[in-house]
Amino acid sequence: MLDLFDALRSRDTDRAMSLLDNRIVWHNVGLPKVRGRANVGKFMAMLARPAFGFDVIVHNIAADGNVVLTERTDVLIWRRLRIEFWVCGTFEMRDGRIAVWRDYFDTVDFLKGVVRGIFRVAVGR
């Protein structure tokens, strides 16, 4: 998972895609599932555009067999706006690649991150 996060942070879409199983299912719980490496890649390509970005702070990570759990703060970036919010992720591996990527987050915490980010932009922080 750390390799995936590093690839996303550095905008290395090819490297990030190489870590995904062809039949990956990416699910931000509460939102529709995204199926297939090509569809997940569209989101990754968006983050690699000049105005966008991604960062992550991993607080805890644990593995048991083919399952990896993460507790982290994700940062979505659009120009000067940084939206920081808490995420708990479950990753299931198949043949060394990520086959299932399931993220849980609190919508209210995400919205708080949006408000905090807008405030920081407005006051120049």
Query: Using 50, 70 and 90 to split pLDDT, how confident is the model at 48?
Result: confident
- pTM as predicted: 0.90
Decide if pLDDT at 47 tops 90.
no
Domain that holds residue 88: 2-123
Is 103 an annotated catalytic residue? yes
The CATH number of residue 22's host domain is 3.10.450.50
Candidates 95, 103, 106, 109; catalytic one:
103
Q: Is 21 known to be catalytic?
A: no
Q: Is the pLDDT of residue 46 over 90?
A: no
Q: What percent of the chain has pLDDT over 70?
A: 99
Q: Are 76 and 54 in contact (CB under 8 A)?
A: yes
Q: How many domains does the chain have?
A: 1
Q: Which of 6, 74, 95, 106 is catalytic?
A: 74
> What distance in Å separates the CA atoms of residue 96 and residue 79, rounded to the nearest whole number?
34
Evaluate whether 72 touches 87 at the Cβ level (below 8 Å): yes
Cα first-last separation, the chain: 30
CA distance 82 to 78: 7
